[in-house]
Structure 1
Amino acid sequence: MTLTEEIEKRRTFGIISHPDAGKTTLTEKLLLFGGAIQSAGAVKSNKIKMHARSDWMEIEKQRGISVATSVMAFDYKDKKINILDTPGHQDFAEDTYRTLTAVDSVIMVIDCVKGVEMQTEKLMEVCRMRNTPVMCFINKLDREGRDPYDLLDEIEEKLNINVRPLSWPISMGKTFKGVYSLFNKSLHLFQASRSKIEQDGIEIDDINDPQIDEQVGEADAAQLREDVELIEGVYPEFDVNEYLEGKVAPVFFGSAVNNFGVKELLDCFIELAPGPLPRETEERVIHPDEKKFSGFIFKIHANMDPNHRNRIAFVRICAGKFQRGTNYYHVRADKKIRFSNATAFMAQEKELVDEAWPGDIVGLYDTGNLKIGDTLSEGEPGMFKGIPSFSPEIFKEVINKDAMKTKQLEKGLHQLMEEGVAQLFTYELGSRKVVGTVGALQFEVIQHRLKNEYGASCDFMPINLFKACWVDSSDKKKLKEFIDSKMRHIARDKDGKVVFMAESRSWLTMVQDNFPEVSFHLTSEF
């Protein structure tokens, strides 16, 4: 198969949502329809031994939430689908933001009871930054939820994107009958089943077809016809190009836990969603059909297999063909590295791959050479742009509880920080270690993983800090003067960059005024 044909087969997307909207459940059901798994796991129930396939870390099983992005691939109708299931919890937002740089489109899951929530708005802002095409799946129609029109209005208002329903629910909750597909004119009848795969819908050439009355009853059939007429009158005709430009979001309705509406979403997705898109480097735009390989690291995970202390770097292939055992140029380090172990993912399960194509996500076993944001190529020097990093919100000092395990603690902290779980700052005076995170739950995850994966125990003591600011200056003498005068508040990040630890907003402002030649940055490029 040629490079062009391989590219055309690929669809790489992320699933995002507020916590508890049903994102991981939807991921499971997509894998089920794709034949990648035989039965879906329960995300929340502790009584059921089989947990959701994409939640494989021990803490995820205990808490019933996703705390790390999972990568899964399967084949469906001659297409190779790559899914990235992201954490919904805001405390792990940074992992999600980085993951969104590696996808070509997004499916956003919205709970029909709660509607658009704050975390959904934040995620949408990241999608807007890149004009990422978005599909909406309004979930949990088997529950009594909000009016569909109200939900559509709220999506437009809060997420700042036009919507176009491509399916429409027939009632809701206890009286939920099914959905009518406006996209391919078919009726899908609801059957509450968590194990059976949804059957193909009944094709309806005309909305006035009496079959509808027979299947859902005259009253619901009359309401459906009224709704369809209103939708066709109010919303403009669906334009695929507007969707691909990120201007309009097609909307689907269903119940992921009951396998309902998922197949219809998947069928439309493979027809409408974009294949691998061009990516920008510092030098130029890289197109997927270029002959020479290039890709970037968007995620690193240590200890995916607790029996082997391995470290895997997730690479998004942007152009050309990746071949295992080939020497590739590591742009940041300015050297060539040979990758003899390359894997494809099915959540925690991995298989060796000899080759991969644009749009694919490949795991490379790494001994510490690679970092998030690194670019690999066949010799071209440009680094891929747009891997976001953020100044932490919460800071806590690391207290070692077992002096005999100091080396294990240092190694564990170093590896977890390389994954992007949190940021580590080491003070110049006294070598105090401070961890900065986006949310409080990350400290619990770090503690859990240090104990279980490295055998190290630590406590986190809250400290009063406002921001960690990376500093630089074109005048090296002025920068040294600043560092010397503020030595008690100077730390280094994991890469050795100088960071000023500001204790309050007003004090930071005063220091900035006193040192105008020094630049203070709230983000650090990896």
Structure 2
Amino acid sequence: MTVAAHTSTSKLPEAVGEAARRRTFAVISHPDAGKSTLTEALALHAAAITSAGAVHGKGDRKGVTSDWMEMEQARGISITSAALRIDYDDCVLNLLDTPGHADFSEDTYRVLAAVDAAIMLLDSAKGLEPQTLKLFDVARNQGIPVITFVNKWDRPGREPLELLDEIEQRIGLRPTPLNWPVGIAGDFRGLIDRVEGGYTKMRRTPGGATRAEEERLSDDQAEQVEGETWTQALEEIELLGEIGADFDEESFLAGKSSPVLFGAALTNFGVAQLLRTLVDLAPAPKPRSDAEGTPRPIEAPFSGLVFKMQANMDKQHRDRMAFVRVCSGRFDRGMVLTHAASGRPFATKYTQAVFGSERHTIDTAFAGDVIALVNAHALSVGDTLYEGKPVHFPPIPSFAPEHFMVARALDAGRYKQFRRGIEQLDSEGVVQVLVSDVRGEQAPVLAAVGPLQFDVVKHRMEHEFRAPIELSPLDYAVARRTDAASAPILHGLSGAEVLTRRSDDELLVLVHNKWRLKVIQRDQPDLVMEALLAGGVEDSA
């Protein structure tokens, strides 16, 4: 079994050679699997930071670098995605941390549209959880190869072979472990490297705030130190060889198998090998297909996809930042690009690289990099920017909303701020904003995947836009796309209401529940009620 090292770039054209050095990936998981902690640990092992912190740290330990919003730090959850650029081993790692909570799945989906690989993070005690399964389906739909990291091996959990069997049986992904733990979950002694051989014994550091101490032992030394635990690990590794659970690059890139690593992010056990695996195995950027399905070569003039909008990261300047995945060519700060949606020029005077809440000016970037364009008021999620030959990348679909609230300004005198805030949050994709002739623009309907999104809206409207709002729930749970001919009929039916989604002017019909939807479809089979995309997969309702 061999693992290919990253390609030498010395003789390649600049854009292609630089792209070959990039690894752009996201971390996906169920809430509380340790995703933000793993992000910190990766940055620590790449020497991008000197001390890692946990979300709910003790003493003087800080919050994680990637959780920069006040609400994230207060609640101990990731609400918005964060971009971390790390230089490591002659590679540039663009790590996109994503929200783990199911209510913020849409933000994760947008991030997955901008990466070339994903780390699927599993809790050693819980295995595949609902949110993990949902996000894996999105990654599979996007054709994103997945590396699996079984986390929290320093705590009581399940048998390693049982976890591998669950991965294969539930999601049809063949697991191919690259390392193997010595000691059961909760009694983590160290890791055997199945690729290069050898045993690394782990030693804790105080609080896991610095890199774990590693000690390389020979097989004879390991047998003396670990005893029967070592023998059991060797027997399990022998079984893996017998069943053919060895890494295969072709099946990994095709999304049929997943390299598996074991470790513990909080104590930094096994994180170093995960980092090396990302460099060696994660694919470099490849040509991205435009809306017509034609790939744009890496060496073509600059093109980029806006996958995220974020306002007010800098409280002093009330800025609006567009996160752009570079898809081809070379980016130079100050270049004038074309905004594909409007055909208008877009100047890039203020461009930054982002490391959590920290930012610094970036002058050049290549395919795979993530750049942040400041004061990008003309841009929205899914927009394309390009230089030279026109290109328009496919838009990023929205999730099918399941929760609906009517928003009203508490202070009529601040209606202008209310409108500006609602439009801002809509363009960022924090929620979907719908309007209807019945309620008017003074009472827009906010549509969300999960109810926590409404908490974010209330917090930001009050603290950023100084326009507190009240939210009134609507008794709807299903949204469907309709057309102008069907809309008047649907609007007159009991248990249904037609609204316009402002961002794309599509007509949506909201229905009380799935049972009522089926009744309408049975009684009015000629009316248009099309399913919305749910993270790249059709809503099954």
Q: TM-score range by the shorter chain?
A: over 0.9
Q: How many residues align?
A: 517
Q: Answer whether contact 1:185 1:203 (CA < 8 A) is retained.
A: no
CA contact (8 A) 2:202 2:214 kept: no
Checking the alignment, whether the CA contact within 8 Å between 2:123 and 2:151 is kept in structure 1 is: yes
Counterpart amino acid of residue 476 in structure 2: L
* Equivalent residue for 2:194, pick from 176, 179, 182: 182
- Shift of the alpha carbon at 1:350? 1.0
Counterparts of residues 233-272 of structure 1 (less than 5 Å): 233-272=242-281
- What is the RMSD of the two structures over their aligned residues, measured on CA atoms? 2.4
The one-letter code of the counterpart of 1:516 is D
Match of 1:390 in 2: 399
Q: Which one of 144, 147, 172 corresponds to residue 135 of structure 1?
A: 147
Find the aligned partners of 1:109 and 1:420 in 2 and give their Cα distance: 25
CA distance in 2, matches of 1:484, 1:496: 20
> 2:4 is matched with which residue?
none
1:267-282 alignment, distance < 5 Å: 267-282=276-291
2:209 equivalent among 165, 189, 195: 195
Q: Distance in 2 between matches of 1:361 and 1:82?
A: 7
Determine whether 1:339 maps to 2:351: no
Distance 1:507 1:210 in 2: 69
Task: Kindly state the Cα deviation for residue 109 of structure 1 after the two structures are TM-superposed.
Answer: 0.9
In the alignment, which residue of structure 1 is the partner of 2:460?
449
**Residue in 2 that maps onto 1:124:** 136
Deviation at 1:430, TM superposition (A): 3.2
Say yes or no: does 1:503 pair with 2:505: no
Contact 2:290 2:296 in 1 (8 A): no
1:288-315 deviation line (CA, Å, top 9, x unaligned): 5223111111110011111211111110
| Higher mean C-alpha deviation, range 429-438 or range 7-16 | 429-438
TM-score (norm 1): 0.92
Distance 1:98 1:46 in 2: 33
Give the 5 Å matches for 1:283-432.
283-385=292-394, 387-431=396-440, 432=443
Change (3 A) 1:469 1:212: same
Q: State the Cα distance separating 1:23 from its structure 2 match.
A: 0.7
Distance 1:180 1:335, change over 3 A: same
Q: 2:105 aligns with which of 69, 93, 98?
A: 93
Compare 2-11 and 92-101 and name the one that shifted more. Answer: 2-11
Q: Superposition pairs for residues 14-33 of structure 1, below 5 Å?
A: 14-33=26-45
Q: Distance in 2 between matches of 1:496 and 1:286?
A: 26
Using the alignment, how far apart are the partners of 1:286 and 1:175 within structure 2? Answer: 49
SS at match of 2:349: coil
State yes or no: 1:522 paired with 2:532.
yes
1:368-416 Cα offsets, whole Å, 9 max, x none, are 2111111111143432126221221011111322222222222111111
Aligned residue identity for 2:235:
E
Tell me the CA shift for residue 354 of structure 1: 1.4
Higher mean Cα deviation, 81-90 or 419-428?
A: 419-428
Separation in 2, partners of 1:486, 1:379: 51
Deviation sequence 1:24-73 (CA, Å, 0-9, x none): 00100111111111111221237546210000100000100000000001
Measure, in 2, the Cα distance between the counterparts of 1:386 and 1:81. 25
36-45 vs 285-294, greater mean Cα deviation: 285-294
Q: Distance in 1 between matches of 2:535 and 2:84?
A: 28
- Paired with 1:272 and 1:484, the residues of 2 have a C-alpha distance of 53
Provide the rounded CA distance (Å) in 2 between the counterparts of 1:34 and 1:227. 31
> What is the CA–CA distance in structure 1 between the aligned matches of 2:188 and 2:498, rounded to whole Å?
60
Q: Which residue of 1 aligns with 2:3?
A: none
Contact 1:283 1:382 in 2 (8 A): no
Residues in 2 aligned to 1:215 and 1:437: alpha-carbon distance in whole angstroms: 54
Asked if structure 2 preserves the Cα contact closer than 8 Å seen for 1:490 and 1:498, the reply is: no
- 1:149 corresponds in structure 2 to 161
| CA apart distance, 1:491 | 2.4
- Structure 1, unmatched stretches of 5+, are none
> Structure 2 stretches of 5 or more lacking a match?
1-9, 537-541
1:424-452 CA distance string (max 9 Å, x none): 11121231311111111111111111111
User: What displacement does 1:506 show?
Assistant: 5.5
Paired residues of 1:198 and 1:263 also in contact (CA < 8 A): no
Q: Which amino acid aligns with 2:21?
A: K
Query: Would the aligned equivalents of 1:469 and 1:523 in 2 still touch at CA under 8 Å?
Result: no
Residue 494 (str. 1) matches residue 502 (str. 2): yes
For residues 257 and 275 of structure 1, what CA distance do their matches in structure 2 show?
28
2:51 pairs, out of 39, 45, 52, with 39
Give the direction of change, closer, same or farther, for the CA distance of 1:502–1:508 in structure 2 (3 Å limit): farther
- Cα distance in 2 for residues equivalent to 1:30 and 1:287: 31
Asked whether the equivalents of residues 286 and 298 of structure 2 are also in contact (C-alpha less than 8 Å), the reply is no
Could you tell me which amino acid in structure 2 is paired with residue 134 of structure 1?
A: V
Match in the other structure for 2:224: 214
Give the Cα separation in 2 of the matches to 1:77 and 1:266.
Answer: 10
Contact 2:480/2:529 (<8 A) preserved:
no
| Residue 66 of structure 2: aligned partner | 54
Mean alpha-carbon deviation: is it higher for 284-293 or for 9-18? 284-293
Hey, what's the Cα distance between the residues in 1 that align with 2:110 and 2:35?
18
**C-alpha distance 67-78 of structure 1, shift in aligned 2 (>3 A):** same
Residues 328 and 76 (structure 1), Cα distance of their counterparts in 2 relative to 1, 3 Å cut? same
> Which TM-score applies when normalising by structure 2?
0.90
Match of 1:65 in 2: 77
2: CA distance between counterparts of 1:126 and 1:203? 41
Deviates more, 1:169-178 or 1:329-338: 169-178
CA distance in 2, matches of 1:480, 1:138: 49
Asked whether the 8 Å contact 1:482–1:515 carries over to 2, the reply is no
Instruction: Give the whole-Å Cα distance in 1 for the aligned partners of 2:59 and 2:493.
Output: 55
1:312–1:365 contact (8 Å) kept in structure 2: yes
Q: Which amino acid aligns with 1:239?
A: D
CA contact (8 A) 2:402 2:479 kept: no
Q: C-alpha offsets along residues 120-146 of structure 1, whole Å, 9 cap, x if unaligned?
A: 000110111122111111111111111
The residue identity in structure 1 corresponding to 2:457 is: I
Once residues 247 and 479 of structure 2 are traced to their aligned partners in structure 1, the CA distance between those partners, rounded to angstroms, is 46
